[in-house]
Homo-oligomer: A and B are copies of this chain.
Amino acid sequence: MTRNDGRTIDALRPISIKRGFTRSAPGSIYIQAGRTTILCTASIDDAQPPWMKDEVSGWVTAEYNMLPGSTSPRKRRERGKTDSRSTEIQRLIGRSLRAAVNMQALGPRTITVDCDVLEADGGTRTLGITGGWLAMADAVASIAGDLPDAGKVFRSSIAAVSVGVHEERVLLDLDYSEDSTAEVDLNVVMTGEGDFVEIQGTAEGRTFGRELLDQQLDVAAAGIAQLTAIQRETLGDAWPLAN
C-alpha cells in the first residue's frame, strides 16, 4: 500500500526545521512536516505564575493557535474566545512540555511556548510538541548564565507523533486527508528514552481492541525514535541533556 504522498505506512513526512527563525523570542523554531508548518516560540518571564505558592519552582505553559490563513477555507480568528479544540490541544502541549522540565532547577520563572500554526495539514498538536521542546531548549540556553545549574533543567527530551488505523492498517504521522478518514486516532508523546508522557486514543468510527492498540504503540515508538534523532541533530552541541 502506498499513501497519497508516496510514503510507506510507517514513514514520517519529510521534516524541515529552522532554529532562530525570528529574533524577538529567545527560542524560535520554524518546523515543517510535509505541509504542516508551525512557528514555535518560547519566551521566559522572570516571575512565577500568580497561583504558585512554593517560591522556588518555575512553570511551563503553552498556547496553540491556528492563523486564519492556515486552512482553506479560512479559519475565523479566535478573538471572541479560544475555541474548545484549541483549549484541549494547548492543555496537551503544556502538560507534555512540563514533563520534560525540572521545575526546581528552572527556578521562579515562567516559560511560555507559543505554537502558531502557519499551515495546517494534520498533526499540528504533535508537531507543536516536537518543535516546542526545541524552542524551549534554545530559550533555556539563552539564560544559562543566570541559572545555578543549567544542566539540570531538562529531565528528558520530548517528541510526539500521531498514528491511525485505516482499513485495518496502522499508519504513522497522518496528514489531513488521512486523519479525516482514520477509524482510530492515537496521539503519543514520549521521552527520548522511550517512556510515555501522554497517550490519547480515540475511536472515531469504530471501537478498538487491545491488539490493535499494541500495534499502534509499536509504530508510534519507532516514529518518535526518529524524531528524537532529528531533534538531537538539530541542536547539535546545544543538546541540553547528558549524552
Seen from chain A, the residues whose Cβ lies within 8 Å of a Cβ on chain B are 21-26, 28, 35, 37, 39, 41-43, 45, 63, 65, 67-74, 77-82, 84-85, 87-88, 90-91, 95, 99, 112, 114, 116, 118-121, 156, 190-191, 193-203, 207-210, 213, 217
CB proximity of A138 to chain B, nearest CB, Å: 12
B208→A24 contact, CB < 8 A: no
- Rounded to whole angstroms, the CA-CA distance of A171 and B121 in the bound complex is 39
Q: How many protomers of this protein does the assembly include? A: 6
CB proximity of A89 to chain B, nearest CB, Å: 10
Closest 7 CB pairs of A and B: A41-B69, A195-B207, A43-B74, A25-B69, A22-B119, A199-B201, A87-B87
A45→B73 contact, CB < 8 A: yes
Closest residue of B by beta carbon distance from A155: B207
B88→A24 contact, CB < 8 A: no
A72→B207 contact, CB < 8 A: no
* A201: B residues at CB distance < 8 A: 196, 198-200
CB proximity of A18 to chain B, nearest CB, Å: 12
B99→A207 contact, CB < 8 A: yes
| 8 Å CB contact of A24 from B21, B26, B70, B112 | B70
A203→B197 contact, CB < 8 A: yes
B203→A23 contact, CB < 8 A: no
Closest residue of B by beta carbon distance from A69: B41
- Rounded to whole angstroms, the CA-CA distance of A90 and B77 in the bound complex is 13
Apart from A39-B118, A198-B200, A198-B203, what are 18 other A-B pairs with CB-CB below 8 Å? A22-B119, A24-B70, A24-B119, A24-B121, A25-B70, A25-B72, A42-B69, A43-B73, A45-B74, A68-B114, A68-B116, A69-B114, A88-B88, A156-B207, A195-B208, A196-B208, A199-B213, A213-B217
A23-B119, A82-B79 known; A99 vs B67 contact (CB < 8 Å): no
The 27 listed contacts between A and B (C-beta, < 8 Å) are A22-B69, A22-B70, A23-B119, A24-B72, A24-B119, A25-B69, A25-B70, A25-B74, A39-B69, A41-B67, A41-B74, A43-B72, A43-B73, A68-B116, A74-B114, A79-B79, A79-B81, A84-B87, A85-B91, A194-B209, A196-B203, A196-B207, A196-B213, A198-B203, A199-B199, A200-B201, A213-B217
- Rounded to whole angstroms, the CA-CA distance of A68 and B191 in the bound complex is 27
* A23: B residues at CB distance < 8 A: 35, 119
